[in-house]
A and B are shown apart, each in its own frame.
Chain A
Amino acid sequence: MAHVLVSPLNWGLGHATRDIPVIRTLLVHGHEVTIAACGNALSVLRKEFPDCQWIEYPDYPIPFGSGHLFIPKFCATLPFLFRATVREHATLEAILAKDRYDLVISDNRLGVYSFKVPSIFVSHQLHYHLPLLYWPLECLGILINQNLHERYDRIIVPDNPPGPLSLAGKLSRPQTDVARERVFFSGILSGTRQIACSQDLDYLVVISGPEPQRTSLEKTILANLKNLDGSGVVLLGSPQKPRALTRTGNWTCVSYVSTEEKVELMNRAQCVICRSGYTTMMELAELGKDRALLIPTPGQTEQEYLSWYYEQNGWYHSQDQNRLDLKDDLEMARRYRGFPAMPKTSANTSRLYDEILAEYLE
């Protein structure tokens, strides 16, 4: 039995939730898993795996809000992010000195690697997309990524290989020899699952993202609901508020729901209206949802790129938050065909274990 340290980044719950199937697979094969994370990411994984050991392992807050000054603000905070990464790496060495570990899995935590213990990096972003005018920074990003990827034995990309089934498009394309030598395309990894239920909800609206964009989207969506026929649920994504449920006609608004309730609602929904974050996209793919309307968080270049990419492929319709007209946009969304059929999480995690993880653990 081997001992694995799994450490997801706590920038939203996406990193933690996509690690759930990986951790489950490790446990099924009889290995010991220690979860090293912080905040909501740690809470979710502790709840999901109550028998696993855990370590409170601080990372760093998202160093920017979203908006049109996203990139300049991000550049200004880079030194602080770098210092936090150096500290994160020092903390990892201290953790590894206290116990025996056979493998370290870092989900997008750049300081979580070791030259003493095999280290695996999980990321769907081998390439950072920026607006055209920032192309020198995009080139610089390739060099920085190359330097960071060299520190890992393997890179697991939770996406299909480049080609017609790729969900992340150019973001997951390896562009350096360092990345090409290490990359393994595992296919989608999602914490959600299909459950047997009827699709009795016309719409599920998931409002999320950093403030003030979350509130801005909430206002736009709520103002648009009266124009829609059918029933639906709006998840406001406000866990800091007391859980409240309000009904307006056929619509129900909930301040937040548990992970289990969200899985059920996504299964019941015929159409999902949500941000175009990559983890949510993997959930749509896992559940085989062919109807969705995507609203990228303004200023978040990754979401803006994915929205554009899905439009180009005819998979999902996207609309800017400031130009959203739910009635028209949902009508438009009917013309898109959803993601093509692809291998699901359970098959992908089995392959990931057999072809990559087993080499370090057995």
Chain B
Amino acid sequence: MDDLVVSGVIAFVIFYAGIVLVAYGILRLTAMMVRAFLTGNYLLMGGIVACIAMAVLLYVAIGLWLRKTGII
């Protein structure tokens, strides 16, 4: 088989698997937050929101660092 096909298929599998994983993670977190809210477990809900906020900040910080160092 042409190596263009092989490397392309591998790249697509990784790419779309990544998207599915991220989407699954978002769904699970949302479900946990809703459950925590409905059961009145506001501490857990606050913890999840704080974790999400930190993850977003970290994500943006890594992006900024990659830009600043000229890697991307």
Known pairs A144-B11, A173-B70. 4 more at Cβ < 8 A?
Answer: A85-B4, A135-B66, A138-B72, A139-B72
Listed A/B pairs (6) with beta-carbon separation below 8 Å: A89-B2, A111-B4, A127-B72, A132-B67, A140-B15, A147-B11
| B residues less than 8 Å from A89 (CB atoms) | 2, 4
Which of A85, A132, A147 has a CB less than 8 Å from the CB of B60? Answer: A132
A147 and B7 within 8 A (CB): yes
Q: Cβ of B5 and Cβ of A86 under 8 Å apart?
A: yes
A-B contact count (CB 8 A): 45
CB distance from A162 to the nearest CB of B (A): 10
Mark interface residues in B1-29 (1 if CB within 8 Å of A CB, else 0): 01011011001100100110000000000
> How close is B6's CB to chain A, nearest CB, in angstroms?
10
**B interface: dominant SS:** helix
Residue from B2, B19, B70 in contact with A170 in the complex, judged by beta carbons closer than 8 Å: B70
Q: Mark B37-72, 1 if CB is under 8 A from A, else 0.
A: 000000000000000000000001011101100111
Q: Does A133 touch B at the CB level, under 8 Å? A: yes
The list of the 5 closest CB pairs from A to B, nearest first, reads A135-B63, A138-B72, A132-B63, A82-B8, A147-B7
User: In the docked arrangement, what's the CA distance between A358 and B12, Å?
Assistant: 38
Contact at B15–A139, with CB atoms within 8 Å?
no
Point out residues on B near A: beta carbons under 8 Å.
2, 4-5, 7-8, 11-12, 15, 18-19, 60, 62-64, 66-67, 70-72
A contact residues vs B (CB 8 Å cutoff): 75, 78-79, 82, 85-86, 89, 111, 127, 132-133, 135-136, 138-140, 142-144, 147, 151, 170, 173, 175
**Are A132 and B4 also in contact (CB < 8 A) when A78-B12, A82-B12 are?**
no
Chain A: which residue is nearest B70 at the CB level?
A170
Give A106 Cβ to nearest chain B Cβ, in Å.
13
Nearest A residue to B66 via CB reads A135
Chain B residues whose C-beta falls within 8 Å of the C-beta of A144 in the assembled complex: 11
B7's closest neighbor in chain A, by CB?
A147
Q: Chain B residue with minimal CB distance to A175?
A: B71
**Residues B66 and A139 in contact, CB atoms below 8 Å apart:** yes
Q: In the assembled complex, which residues on chain A have CB atoms less than 8 Å from the CB atom of B60?
A: 132-133
Closest chain B residue, CB of each to CB of A113: B4
How far apart are the CA atoms of A111 and B28 in the complex, in Å?
A: 40
| A86 CB contacts on chain B under 8 angstroms | 2, 4-5, 8
**Distance A139 CA – B62 CA, assembled complex (angstroms):** 12
Asked if B12 and A79 make an inter-chain contact with CB atoms under 8 angstroms apart, the answer reads yes
Complex CA–CA separation, A143 to B15 (angstroms): 12
Q: Which residue of A lies closest to B19 (CB)?
A: A75
**CB nearest neighbor in B for A143:** B11
